[in-house]
Each structure stands twice: as structure tokens, then as C-alpha cells.
Amino acid sequence: MLKTKPFNIITKHQKEVFGDVTFQESKQAKPIVIFCHGYKGFKDWGAWHLIAEAFAQAGFFFVKFNFSHNGTTSKNPSEFTDLEAFGQDNYTEQLEDLKLVIDYFESNKELAKEIDSTQISLIGHSRGGGIALLKANEDPRIKQLITWAGVSDFGNRFPKGNKLAKWKEDGVYYIVNARTKQKMPHFIQFYEDFMANQKRLHIKTAAANLKIPFLIIHGTQDEAVNAFEAETLFNTAKNAKIKWIANANHVFGMEHPWEEKSLPNATKLLVQKSIEFLR
């Protein structure tokens, strides 16, 4: 029988990293899979819950969580009610959040009989793919990595020229969320933190140094992260495999909210290829 349990970690900034785990309760140790959501994403977006169930049914202990500064709160886990936090988010903050999640499950006594803390894999979607790759490279506890529509470069996503100058002058720029119509802030600290940590945050360097098995899955019709980014990662990483999903978009046919009881075909393929790789 599948079981889902919530968890909550408080960061050094007194923010919450909260999420849930889905697994088959059996008192047998299961490999851990930790999922990282992408930009303007959250753990309950679309059909992530059905994906969690699919991994659990395949014998994995599946963890999904909200980054501490993604703009949601545990009271409103699927709404961007804390835009101040969203504006204070950055890549090093997300790497620290992911470390806290790994630490939490590596030493979790309550679930110790259900988890094999020597077998931790990361999956990241979109921007979360970049975060997962960086963490997999710097943390020897990670044994396998998968990116879904993952990015290959953080630096080229920042404004340039006059837009960058205006951002520095104003201290903030806004992105309109196409789904919610909210004006979502990025404070200049986001750029400053990246510039101060460029070496650590260089995804291609991390990919080149990666020594663990790495699977790249990308849709051929991805409108948000170009297919050449998947090719870049594949050509850079020594132990990489690449799987293309024909005609799939950036979210593999999902949308939010997802009202269906089953996954779209592209997502079924995504899950199938991922589970085959992790096994």
C-alpha cells in the first residue's frame, strides 16, 4: 500500500523547506529519489503527485519538496503568496536547501527501515536540473542523476546590456507569471550571488567532472529550454546517456492543475525511461 508523509525543515534563515515522501510501506530499505522542481515551480505542480506514485510503485522512496524561497509557504504550498522570498531566491540558496533535504533523509530515524541512504539519486526539472547536476557533482552521497528538460547554463539567463544596467539601478526587475498573472520580483542579489559564485555554479564544468551515471531526458518540442542544451550536457558529461521524447514540450504534456487520473503519454515515457535507468 502506498503511503505519503509530509516533512518540514527550517533553514538558517528561518524559512521552510517542506515536502512529502511517497513509498510502499514494507520495512524494506528502498533507494531514495529526490526531485527538484524548476523555476516558478513547486512540488505539487501539475502531475508531480502521480509521478511520485509511479516511482513508489516501482520500489523507490520518492521525495519532492518546495525550495525555501520559491514563493510558496506550507499554508499555501501551491500559491505564490511570499513574493519577497521569491525575490530573495538564488542558486546557492537552492543548493543549501537540497543539502538540507539530503541530510534529513540520510539521518532519518523514523523512516530508517524504509530507506537505503547509501542509494540516493537526484532528478531535476528545468532549472532544478541544473541545481541537481551541481549538487550531484559536489556531494559524493549522490549515486545517480537524471535531468528532465534540464538547463546547461545559468549565466546566459540573466538580463544583459541596458536591461542589466537598469536592474542594477532599480535593484529589482519583475517577471510576469503567465499562469497567475503575478508580477514576480528578482532582486539584484540574485545576480550578485551568481557572480560571486560563478565557479561553483558553472553547470558545464560540473557535468565534465561528474563521475556517476547521468541520464538526460528532453522533449524534441521543448519551447523553454532548447534541445541544444541537452546536447551540450550530453557532449560534456563522460557518463551521460540521452533520451529524446518525440514531440514533447517543456512539461512533457502536463499542465497545472492536472485533473486527470493518469499521466499524459509523454510523461509516462519520461517516468518509464527514468525508472529503467535507475534500476
CB 249 within 8 A of CB 222: yes
Can you tell me the distance from the alpha carbon of 276 to that of 66, in angstroms, rounded to the nearest whole number?
A: 26
Residue 55 confidence (pLDDT)? 98
Whole-prediction pTM: 0.98
Residue 211 confidence (pLDDT)? 97
Q: Tell me how far CA of residue 102 lies from CA of 139, 144, 271, in angstroms.
A: 10, 14, 22
- Which residue ranges form the domains of the chain, and what is each CATH number? 2-156+199-278 (3.40.50.1820)
Residue 148 confidence (pLDDT)? 99
Can you tell me the distance from the alpha carbon of 115 to that of 205, in angstroms, rounded to the nearest whole number?
A: 31
How confident is the model over 150-175, as a mean pLDDT?
A: 97
**pLDDT above 70 covers what percent of the chain?**
100
Residue 70 confidence (pLDDT)? 98
How confident is the model over 195-216, as a mean pLDDT?
A: 98
What average pLDDT does the chain have? 97
Phi, psi of 240 (to 5 degrees): -90, 145
